Chains A and B, each alone.
Chain A
């Protein structure tokens, strides 16, 4: 397969996943904000900007952080290249460039998502009504992923999109965890004491993990177990361990003459998740662990681009 084709396939699904994760993250931010009983949770909305990497772009256009401002900036702002609208557009553009490689169902799904979001009014995220929009973005992403798995030929045409999905998801999960733990579990707090039950359950719900938590632990919610679920549980589809398992498998399939070092690094990182213990992670510092993870994930992305795709500039 042409490197450029693989690159478009990879970014097509990465941008779709990114839109979904933004929707999930904003959804949890808004829900947590509502839990403050009338008090505007500026810290939560500032954190949303940080997670999305949009502090600078936001402050260029706004004097102060407001829920409405952040929501608009991260959803419908076409000037912000990291907004949901721009992610869906980028996914569509990447799909368009390799339309001949996609099944018509997949092309139509991605094109339709873009056409619909382009036609919808930004006001759908105003007030406290953004939930329906976030739900829609999430379901369109589910649909794209389902159509990808259900219709694409099971060769590189499937593996590169999958690779994009899991690298993006790992990155996103780590970012959300880092920021939310910092807010909900200040340094020195007891990781076995939940404090605000509703905040933790909202975080779980943002990753579709509330029911999973109940089934896995059959016990009350504690920050330690939440972290374990998000980081180490390999059977939890949005956990770091699960994502890295998938990345490792996919890399083994697409391996070429240059990719040995990349495979080694994925294996090394994944083994730390496979054999790691949550106690040790907390002992070393969760923030340090996640920062290190994000750095290594970024290194993997760059190496994959170099080995297989169009190298990043």
Chain B
């Protein structure tokens, strides 16, 4: 682990980086009371608009805000151009991989990935085998988590290809910044992000089943008690599509319909924010009350498009992650632009031996875990925790991977005592339809506790507006 992390705003000797210069001047000119007042205003507006996380949580009727920090995370044009090119390349390769895995499995035959790693993966869905999806696109919406370790040095932490969330915060953070500090948007040339819902709708329409000229799109939510319900309602409203629950949909004549006050209306594309397991009680989990009985059969008949497709989890699983650079080379014949974090696969004896020797400096993750659970952060763990984790690893090494502890970059945030650096990551949203579209920037998440590397909102992370400066 590096002694000091790379800071987005300042260099190690304290000089402001050129692309932050104008903002730093502005910040220095703002009286503390003004910033405090703006912070209160932001809280008030977020509360009133009901922009919340964990809607309807444990305590009945209470809703929690995700903390919003006013100092933007700024990327300059050249840096973003590199990231965007890398993201396109990576998502193209991932979609190619999914198409291959669910058809001829060339990459397995060529021996680049052990077949068992894929075919015995719980995220692999045999139901998808041989099925053609419109445009060959599986992951229409990808939320790729990136971290920076140094100048121009970005790593992909995770490719979220199932139901990635957070884009509503990206949009609301921007709206809030424009409301609080309009002068900043006059003095900076900031790439807009407001067209995301429009672009998403366009992408969803272009992947409708063949022969549908004016497709009806609906957003499928698990319901008002889901922690991301705010985002589901927000996106549906912004796109002008119906926000449906499983009970609103039914299957008849090999088609999916929604129940409306004017009778059944056919649906062609479902942007589903519901995991594979819950989609169709006839095909997957039988106890699911959230899905639509018979949906899979319509899907297999090619008469409904699901975005994302079923079975994309096999490509963003941590046990498959180490092979993504190989996918880029295999399918695209290119060298990967974005780095993978070096990963030890503990099912391999050599990797296991290395990891067990270096547990105090590694991050160990469960292959199928997510959200920061089931994870050991070596440098931050006690001896006892390390020994406990060691036993779990030895008992089932194939359930774990290990990675070096990355030094995530920091960005200044407002804290009680003034301004201090905190670790951040970046989740850009990559949309794949007829072409790949990326709204500049993404969601910047920030760990609010000093020194913490955990940015997940379920574990006390906050967010920032993300600026991509145009030349």
Residues of A within 8 A of B (CB): 1-4, 6, 92, 96-97, 99-100, 104, 107, 114-115, 118, 156, 160, 254, 256-258, 308-310
* Residues B61 and A118 in contact, CB atoms below 8 Å apart: yes
Would you mind naming 28 contact pairs between A and B with Cβ atoms under 8 Å apart? A1-B261, A1-B262, A2-B242, A2-B248, A2-B258, A2-B260, A2-B261, A3-B261, A4-B245, A4-B247, A4-B248, A6-B261, A96-B224, A99-B50, A100-B233, A100-B234, A100-B236, A100-B243, A104-B48, A114-B61, A115-B61, A156-B261, A160-B261, A254-B261, A256-B262, A256-B263, A257-B262, A310-B247
Residues of B within 8 A of A (CB): 48-50, 56, 61, 224, 233-234, 236-237, 242-245, 247-248, 258-263
Report which of A96, A100, A115 forms a contact with B56, defined as CB distance below 8 A.
A96
How far is B260's CA from A160's CA once the two chains are assembled, in angstroms? Answer: 13
In the complex, which residues of chain B have a beta carbon less than 8 angstroms from the beta carbon of A310? 247, 259
Closest residue on chain A to residue B230 by CB atoms: A99
* Residues A3 and B50 in contact, CB atoms below 8 Å apart: no
Closest residue on chain B to residue A96 by CB atoms: B224
How far is B226's CA from A97's CA once the two chains are assembled, in angstroms? Answer: 12
In the complex, which residues of chain A have a beta carbon less than 8 angstroms from the beta carbon of B236? 100
Closest residue on chain A to residue B60 by CB atoms: A118
How far is B245's CA from A45's CA once the two chains are assembled, in angstroms? Answer: 43
* Residues B50 and A256 in contact, CB atoms below 8 Å apart: no
Q: Which 10 A-B pairs have the closest CB atoms?
A: A3-B259, A100-B233, A308-B261, A6-B261, A1-B261, A256-B262, A100-B237, A97-B224, A4-B248, A2-B248
Chain B interface SS verdict (over half): mixed
Report which of B61, B237, B243, B261 forms a contact with A256, defined as CB distance below 8 A.
B261
* Nearest Cβ on chain A to B446's Cβ, whole angstroms: 28
How far is B237's CA from A308's CA once the two chains are assembled, in angstroms? Answer: 22
* Nearest Cβ on chain A to B246's Cβ, whole angstroms: 10
How far is B104's CA from A140's CA once the two chains are assembled, in angstroms? Answer: 65
* Nearest Cβ on chain A to B175's Cβ, whole angstroms: 15
* Nearest Cβ on chain B to A212's Cβ, whole angstroms: 35
Given contacts A2-B244, A2-B258, A308-B261, 11 further A-B contacts (CB under 8 A): A2-B260, A2-B261, A3-B260, A4-B245, A96-B224, A100-B237, A118-B61, A160-B261, A254-B261, A309-B261, A310-B247
In the complex, which residues of chain B have a beta carbon less than 8 angstroms from the beta carbon of A156? 261
* Nearest Cβ on chain A to B224's Cβ, whole angstroms: 5
In the complex, which residues of chain A have a beta carbon less than 8 angstroms from the beta carbon of B234? 100
How far is B245's CA from A257's CA once the two chains are assembled, in angstroms? Answer: 24
In the complex, which residues of chain A have a beta carbon less than 8 angstroms from the beta carbon of B224? 96-97
* Nearest Cβ on chain A to B51's Cβ, whole angstroms: 12
* Residues A3 and B248 in contact, CB atoms below 8 Å apart: yes
How far is B221's CA from A2's CA once the two chains are assembled, in angstroms? Answer: 14
Report which of B56, B61, B259 forms a contact with A4, defined as CB distance below 8 A.
B259
* Nearest Cβ on chain B to A222's Cβ, whole angstroms: 44
In the complex, which residues of chain A have a beta carbon less than 8 angstroms from the beta carbon of B247? 4, 310
* Nearest Cβ on chain B to A74's Cβ, whole angstroms: 22
How far is B237's CA from A309's CA once the two chains are assembled, in angstroms? Answer: 21
In the complex, which residues of chain B have a beta carbon less than 8 angstroms from the beta carbon of A96? 56, 224
* Nearest Cβ on chain B to A187's Cβ, whole angstroms: 45
Which of A2, A160, A254 has the most C-beta atoms of chain B within 10 angstroms of its own C-beta? A2
Closest residue on chain A to residue B259 by CB atoms: A3
Closest residue on chain A to residue B264 by CB atoms: A3
In the complex, which residues of chain B have a beta carbon less than 8 angstroms from the beta carbon of A99? 50, 233
How far is B242's CA from A115's CA once the two chains are assembled, in angstroms? Answer: 29
* Nearest Cβ on chain B to A1's Cβ, whole angstroms: 5
How far is B233's CA from A258's CA once the two chains are assembled, in angstroms? Answer: 30
In the complex, which residues of chain A have a beta carbon less than 8 angstroms from the beta carbon of B244? 2
How far is B151's CA from A311's CA once the two chains are assembled, in angstroms? Answer: 61
In the complex, which residues of chain A have a beta carbon less than 8 angstroms from the beta carbon of B243? 100
How far is B245's CA from A100's CA once the two chains are assembled, in angstroms? Answer: 14
Which of B224, B247, B258, B261 has the most C-beta atoms of chain A within 10 angstroms of its own C-beta? B261
* Nearest Cβ on chain B to A55's Cβ, whole angstroms: 29
In the complex, which residues of chain A have a beta carbon less than 8 angstroms from the beta carbon of B259? 2-4, 310
* Nearest Cβ on chain A to B266's Cβ, whole angstroms: 14
How far is B199's CA from A36's CA once the two chains are assembled, in angstroms? Answer: 71
Closest residue on chain A to residue B218 by CB atoms: A2
Closest residue on chain A to residue B223 by CB atoms: A97
How far is B63's CA from A115's CA once the two chains are assembled, in angstroms? Answer: 13
* Nearest Cβ on chain A to B3's Cβ, whole angstroms: 49
How far is B261's CA from A107's CA once the two chains are assembled, in angstroms? Answer: 22
How far is B233's CA from A257's CA once the two chains are assembled, in angstroms? Answer: 29
Closest residue on chain A to residue B234 by CB atoms: A100
How far is B236's CA from A97's CA once the two chains are assembled, in angstroms? Answer: 14
* Nearest Cβ on chain B to A308's Cβ, whole angstroms: 5
How far is B245's CA from A97's CA once the two chains are assembled, in angstroms? Answer: 11
* Residues B263 and A257 in contact, CB atoms below 8 Å apart: yes
How far is B260's CA from A308's CA once the two chains are assembled, in angstroms? Answer: 7
How far is B49's CA from A107's CA once the two chains are assembled, in angstroms? Answer: 11
How far is B263's CA from A4's CA once the two chains are assembled, in angstroms? Answer: 12
In the complex, which residues of chain A have a beta carbon less than 8 angstroms from the beta carbon of B61? 92, 114-115, 118
Which of A4, A97, A107, A254 has the most C-beta atoms of chain B within 10 angstroms of its own C-beta? A4
* Nearest Cβ on chain B to A304's Cβ, whole angstroms: 10
How far is B61's CA from A96's CA once the two chains are assembled, in angstroms? Answer: 10
How far is B56's CA from A309's CA once the two chains are assembled, in angstroms? Answer: 25
In the complex, which residues of chain A have a beta carbon less than 8 angstroms from the beta carbon of B242? 2
Which of A96, A104, A256 has the most C-beta atoms of chain B within 10 angstroms of its own C-beta? A96
How far is B62's CA from A115's CA once the two chains are assembled, in angstroms? Answer: 10
* Nearest Cβ on chain A to B257's Cβ, whole angstroms: 11
* Nearest Cβ on chain B to A5's Cβ, whole angstroms: 8
How far is B260's CA from A258's CA once the two chains are assembled, in angstroms? Answer: 12
Closest residue on chain A to residue B265 by CB atoms: A2
How far is B242's CA from A226's CA once the two chains are assembled, in angstroms? Answer: 47
* Nearest Cβ on chain A to B368's Cβ, whole angstroms: 33
Closest residue on chain A to residue B49 by CB atoms: A104
How far is B80's CA from A238's CA once the two chains are assembled, in angstroms? Answer: 65
How far is B49's CA from A118's CA once the two chains are assembled, in angstroms? Answer: 22
How far is B48's CA from A171's CA once the two chains are assembled, in angstroms? Answer: 36
In the complex, which residues of chain A have a beta carbon less than 8 angstroms from the beta carbon of B50? 99, 107
How far is B248's CA from A56's CA once the two chains are assembled, in angstroms? Answer: 35
In the complex, which residues of chain A have a beta carbon less than 8 angstroms from the beta carbon of B56? 96
How far is B231's CA from A288's CA once the two chains are assembled, in angstroms? Answer: 53
How far is B233's CA from A125's CA once the two chains are assembled, in angstroms? Answer: 39
Closest residue on chain A to residue B244 by CB atoms: A2
